[in-house]
Amino acid sequence: MMILIIPGVSADEIKLTASARNIVSVGDRFQLTYTVNAHGGQFSGPRIKDFRVLSGPNISTNQSYQVINGKMSQSITVSYVYYLQAFKEGKFKISAASIEIDGKTISSNPLSIEVIKGNAPPASVPKNQQGTDASGNTGQASGQVDTGDDVFLKAFVSTNNPYQGEQLIVTYKIYTANVPISDIDIENLASFPGFWSTNLTDSKQQIQPEKEIINGREYLTGILYRVALFPQKSGKITITPKKLKCTAQVRTQGNRKVRDPFFDSFFDDPFFNNQYQNVRIEMESNPIVLNIKPLPIDKKPAGFSGAVGRFNFQATIDNNELTVNDAVTVRVVISGSGNLELINTPDINWPPDFEAYEPKISKNIRTTKTGVSGSRTFEFLAIPRSAGDFVVGPIELSYFDPAAGQYKSLLTEVFHIQVEKGDQQTSSVSYSGVAQEDIMYLGQDIRYIKTGNFPLSARGYYLFASPLYFMLLAAPAVILALLSLLLISNRKKRSNVALVRNRKATRVARKNLKKANEFLKAQEREAFYTEVSRALWG
């Protein structure tokens, strides 16, 4: 029986390290790198005033795994890289940077850099570019070593024939048999063109190694990466192989011809056997070919907006008896599993006498090894401007259930709202959650007594029956007619759901594209693709 223990990194072991060339020439471009051995945290860069900042901080994450003597461990390194250029001669100091992780602030070491004229001496070669064998002898860090079936990377997919928008799970597992490995690096691990993706791997959780028997041979396996994918188009799509590089400890000579399963685990340990060498090896996972089925056109509901999965739908109202100018809130909750992030805001057909506002949206999304699930909440606020009995709803959610292979529609109950006449002397209406000015109602009581000069009319001139009299007499009727036409026009526009939806779609798309541009500049790729998908698909 084998007990596998995988240690984690405690808060006291977290370190933020700064590194850069200590001697550069005027005009040279060089890197300033801050490395922390933990994931997440709020990074605060140094104040750089003596060098020209070309770009940065550029963030990269490297996950390393080690499998030695049946034990698998994981380490995470996050790098914040600045690209600088020296523009003046002298000795300069770069102050310490800091990062806050789990409420604790860790500071880096300060750096001293000398800028000289002419050519600077070449930078020293890092030690980790050379390999060493178990006896301490230096060997090549990379080589053409055939590990055969001893170490390989394999990709698994939950289904090869999903519908467009259906959630599918892709898992990458590494297999090793009697070959200790470390320093695993996978290129473009989170890149999946044609898909909206969500990472299901908890970077803070250590790998749970398991044993598997393949063709009668025992392997130690570990899940390196698990991701939920949502295809954004139909047709044949191939997920290209992921390239993996790692350091393997391989035997160079003196292999025993007769192997004993009891003594091998003891004598094959590098501590007792010095015939091992660390080499850098490369491998690829298998490609995954998917046939994405388009959503059926037959029996497609008119209100379908792209929701694919299995969902529940409910709505509640906070008050159905209120007075004019009192706020009412309808709360809509969509829960279940599927592409929750891509579901459009439900439509509520408010009566024309209600002034509606943009909904407040919140979410509670959970990611587990089975996929993405959770809920999204929409809070709709409106204010009635006239008294009467009104009906709101029903609110509809249409989605496609891939398990059943058909569309489904859910309807909420109908809300009856009774609005009474309020106090006409109300001076203001206020409500929380909406960034809009309070609406003021100004009454008139005793008018202000005029103290200055005012126009006088000559004796004998009467306003009655004059042209001005008839103009003033007709003015209220004309104004009332214009206001009535304007009110009727506004009511027709509000009742046209398609027109209102099209107007909102352009505004929402511009807002999402603006957010996507900000995420792109911050190199937050997952958030960038999310906002682009929202702009394209609503």
Question: What is the per-residue pLDDT for 453?
Answer: 63
Residues 295-327: tens digit of each pLDDT: 998 888 888 888 899 999 899 998 888 898 889
Q: What is the mean pLDDT of the chain?
A: 77
**Cβ partners under 8 Å of residue 490, min gap 6:** 352
In angstroms, rounded to a whole number, what is the distance separating the alpha carbons of residues 60 and 497? 46
C-alpha torsion sign, points 464, 467, 470, 474: negative
Q: Which 3 state secondary structure label does DSSP give 135?
A: coil
Q: Which long-range contacts (CB under 8 A, 24 or more apart) does 522-531 make?
A: 523/58, 523/59, 525/190, 525/191, 526/190, 526/197, 526/198, 526/199, 529/196, 529/197, 530/196, 530/341
What's the token pair of residue 204?
A: 């803070």
- Cα 263 from chain centre: 50
- Domain limits at 90? 11-124
Query: Tokens for 387?
Result: 């008294």
Residue 533's φ and ψ, nearest 5 degrees, are: -65, -40
Would residue 459 count as lying in a domain? no
Host H or E run for residue 380: strand 371-384
- 102 and 219 together in one domain: no
- Of 23-32, 202-211, 444-453, least confident by mean pLDDT is 444-453
Residue 441 has pLDDT above 50, yes or no: no
pLDDT surpasses 50 at 527: yes
pLDDT of residue 108: 92
Residue 97: predicted pLDDT: 92
CATH number of the domain residue 341 falls in: 2.60.40
132, 41 Cβ separation under 8 angstroms: no
430 and 486 co-located in one domain: no
pLDDT reported for residue 462: 61
**Model confidence pLDDT, tens digit, residues 197-221:** 888 887 666 777 788 888 778 888 8
- DSSP structural state of residue 444: -
pLDDT exceeds cutoff 80 at 9: no
Give the pLDDT score at 457. Answer: 56
> Where is pLDDT greater, at 129 or 176?
176
Q: Which residue has the higher pLDDT, 69 or 28?
A: 28
What pLDDT does 38 receive?
79
pLDDT at 329: 92
Judge if 260 and 171 occupy the same domain.
Answer: yes
Same domain for 288 and 155: yes
160 and 194, same domain (yes or no): yes
User: Of all residues in the chain, what percent carry a pLDDT higher than 90?
Assistant: 18
pTM: 0.51
State pLDDT tens for residues 373-407: 999 999 999 999 889 899 988 889 899 999 889 99
Rg (CA), the chain: 34
Are 95 and 205 members of one domain?
no
On the question of pLDDT at 262 being above 70, the answer is: no
Does one domain contain both 314 and 414? yes
pLDDT in tens, 342-377: 888 888 889 988 899 999 999 898 888 888 899 999
pLDDT in tens, 91-137: 999 999 999 888 888 899 999 999 988 665 554 433 333 333 433 34
Residue 74 belongs to a domain with what CATH number? Answer: 2.60.40.10
**Does residue 32 belong to any structural domain of this protein?**
yes
Q: Please indicate, yes or no, whether residues 336 and 270 belong to a single structural domain of this protein.
A: no
pLDDT bucket at 426, cuts 50 / 70 / 90: very low
Answer yes or no: do 485 and 415 share one domain: no
Output 424 or 27, whichever has higher pLDDT.
27
- HSE-CB of 240 using CA atoms within 13 angstroms: 11
User: How many whole angstroms separate alpha carbon 225 and alpha carbon 471?
Assistant: 80
Statement: residue 7 has pLDDT above 50: no
Residues 363 and 399 in one domain: yes
Q: Looking at residue 446, what is its pLDDT?
A: 46
Predicted confidence band of residue 456 (pLDDT cuts 50, 70, 90): low
pLDDT at residue number 202: 75
Burial 528-537 (b: 16+ CB within 10 A, else e): bbbbbbbbee
Task: Give me 268's structure tokens.
Answer: 């094959």
Q: Which is nearest to 339 in space by CA: 228, 234, 233, 237?
A: 228
- Domain-located, residue 130: no
Please identify which residue in the block is written with the tokens 């993996």. Answer: 244
Alpha carbon separation from 69 to 80, 147, 174 (Å, rounded): 33, 17, 16
Give a yes or no: residue 520 inside a domain. Answer: yes
Residue 467, number of CB atoms within 10 A of its CB: 7
43 or 204: which leads in pLDDT: 43
Helix H or strand E encompassing 533: helix 525-537
**Measured torsion, CA atoms of residues 175, 178, 184, 187, in degrees rounded to the nearest 10:** -40
251 & 326 share domain:
no
DSSP state, residue 386? S
Residue 359 domain-assigned? yes
Q: How many domains does the chain have?
A: 4
Residues 519, 529: Cα–Cα separation, whole Å = 9
CB 115 within 8 A of CB 89: yes
The CB density around residue 81, as the number of other CB atoms within 10 Å, is: 15
Tell me the pLDDT band of 272, cut-offs 50, 70 and 90.
very low
* Residue 407 domain flag: yes
Residues 330, 283: one domain? no
The 10s digit of each residue's pLDDT in 290-301 is: 999 999 988 888
